[in-house]
C-alpha cells in the first residue's frame, strides 16, 4: 500500500506510539516517521531500537513539516503539548491523539489548533500492561476497535484519511460522540481498572493473608486483577481525573450492584445470585463472538498472548 501520510510525528514514545510505528512500517503507510519524548532515556531507547526514522529532542522539532501529528502522551499533558506545537503546525495537517478520555482532551487541545489544521481525536481500544518504546508491536491493533470522536464540522476528507490509516494498521474504526465515548469507556475500561487497583490494594492491606500467600496461591481472577493493576500509573491517574463525572456515575452504579449482591449473600438468596451470574455470562459470550477475546482454555495462555483489552 502506498503511504497515506508523508511525515508522521509521534509525540510520546510508549506502547501505543511504538505499535503505531511498527504497524505503519509493516504497511508502508508513512513516508517518514518522526518521534519525540520528554524523557532523554526514552528517546535514547527509541533511537537504539530504530523505532522511528528520526528522533528529535522536542515536540516542536518533531512536528515540522508533518502532515499527521499523533499525541501519545498522558491525558493530563495534552494541553501543554498542544500549546507548544500549535503555532508550528503546517496548514492542512491533521492532529489526532490516542487518549482514553475524549471530552477533556478536546477541551485541552482544541483551542491550540490553528485554522486550516484538522483535529480528529481518536482512541485505539488496545493495549497491554507494559509501557515504554520497547513494548510496541505491529499486531497490537489487529481486529481491535479505534474510536474517532471528531467535533461537528470537522473536514470529512481528514477524517476519512485517518480512518484509512487505522484500518491499514489492522483496526476496525467507528465514529462516536465524545461524551458518549467517555461514558462507554467508564463502563468498559475505567471503572474495571479502578476496581482492579482496589482489589489488589485490599489484598495488600489484609494482613491476615500474607504477601507470600497472595503470590503463591493467586487464582486466575486475582492474577488478572494484578495484570490490569500493573498498568501505567501516570496515565491512569490522569484518566480518572479527566473522566471524573462518567467514572463516578458508573462507580455509583457498581456500588449499588455490589450492595445488592452483599444482601443476597447475607440472606442466602441463591436464586438472585444464579440469575445475576447467568445474565453476566451472556456479556462474556458476546465479547468472544465479537472476536475481542478467545474462549480457549485458560484464556489462551498456553500460547502466550501479548495483546489484551486496552484503556
Topology agreement, domain 5-177 and domain 180-300: no
Q: What is the pLDDT of residues 237-261, one digit of tens each?
A: 999 999 999 999 999 999 999 999 9
**Domain covering 5-177 in this structure, CATH number:** 3.40.50.720
Contacts of 99 (CB under 8 A, 6+ apart): 71, 74, 75, 78, 105, 121, 123
| Residue 106: Cβ within 10 Å count | 21
Q: Is the pLDDT of residue 130 over 90?
A: no
Write down the pLDDT at residue 310.
52
> With contact defined as beta carbons under 8 Å apart, do 120 and 148 qualify?
yes
pLDDT 10s digits, 150-168? 999 999 999 999 999 999 9
Q: Which CATH architecture has domain 180-300?
A: Orthogonal Bundle (1.10)
Helix axes 233-242, 244-267, angle to 10 degrees: 100
Q: What is residue 221's predicted lDDT score, i.e. its pLDDT?
A: 73
% residues pLDDT > 90 (the chain): 68
Give the pLDDT band (50/70/90) at residue 222.
confident
Name the residue among 3, 4, 67, 1 with its Cα closest to residue 34: 67
CA pair distance 299, 287, nearest whole angstrom: 13
Find the range with the poorest average confidence among 7-11, 14-18, 244-248, 291-295.
291-295
Q: What is the C-alpha to C-alpha distance for residues 143 and 152, in angstroms, rounded to an integer?
A: 27
- Nearest to 21, CA basis, from 58, 60, 62, 57: 62
- Whether the per-residue pLDDT at 128 is higher than 90: the answer is no
Specify whether the CB–CB gap between 181 and 123 falls below 8 A: yes
Q: Average pLDDT for residues 28-36, to the nearest whole number?
A: 97
The pLDDT-based confidence of 200 (bands split at 50, 70, 90) is: confident
Domain boundaries, the chain: 5-177, 180-300
Amino acid at each position: 500500500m502506498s503511504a497515506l501520510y508523508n511525515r508522521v510525528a509521534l509525540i510520546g514514545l510508549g506502547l501505543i506510539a511504538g505499535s503505531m510505528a511498527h504497524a505503519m512500517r509493516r504497511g508502508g503507510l508513512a513516508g517518514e516517521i518522526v518521534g519525540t519524548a520528554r524523557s532523554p532515556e526514552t528517546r535514547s531507547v527509541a533511537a537504539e531500537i530504530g523505532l522511528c526514522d528520526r528522533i528529535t529532542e522536542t515536540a516542536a522539532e518533531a512536528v515540522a513539516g508533518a502532515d499527521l501529528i499523533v499525541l501519545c502522551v498522558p491525558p493530563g499533558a495534552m494541553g501543554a503539548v498542544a500549546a507548544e506545537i500549535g503555532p508550528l503546525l503546517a496548514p492542512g495537517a491533521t492532529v489526532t491523539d490516542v487518549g482514553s478520555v475524549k471530552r477533556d482532551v478536546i477541551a485541552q487541545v482544541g483551542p491550540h489548533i490553528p485554522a486550516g489544521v484538522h483535529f480528529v481525536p481518536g482512541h485505539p481500544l488496545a493495549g497491554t500492561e507494559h509501557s515504554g518504546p520497547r513494548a510496541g508491536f505491529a499486531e497490537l491493533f489487529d481486529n481491535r476497535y479505534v474510536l474517532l470522536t471528531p467535533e461537528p464540522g470537522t473536514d470529512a476528507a481528514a477524517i476519512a484519511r485517518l480512518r484509512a490509516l487505522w484500518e491499514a494498521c489492522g483496526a476496525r474504526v467507528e465514529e462516536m460522540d465524545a461524551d458518549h465515548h467517555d461514558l462507554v469507556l467508564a463502563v468498559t475500561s475505567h471503572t474495571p481498572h479502578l476496581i482492579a487497583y482496589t482489589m489488589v490494594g485490599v489484598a495488600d492491606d489484609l494482613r491476615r493473608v500474607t504477601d507470600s500467600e497472595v503470590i503463591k496461591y493467586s487464582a486466575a481472577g486475582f492474577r488478572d486483577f494484578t495484570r490490569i493493576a500493573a498498568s501505567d500509573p501516570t496515565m491512569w491517574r490522569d484518566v480518572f481525573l479527566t473522566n471524573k463525572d462518567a467514572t463516578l456515575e458508573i462507580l455509583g452504579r457498581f456500588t449499588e450492584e455490589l450492595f445488592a449482591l452483599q444482601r443476597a449473600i447475607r440472606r442466602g438468596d441463591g436464586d438472585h445470585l444464579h440469575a445475576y451470574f447467568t445474565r453476566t455470562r451472556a456479556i462474556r459470550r458476546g465479547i468472544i463472538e465479537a472476536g475481542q477475546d478467545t474462549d480457549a482454555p485458560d484464556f489462551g495462555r498456553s500460547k502466550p498472548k501479548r495483546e489484551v483489552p486496552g484503556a
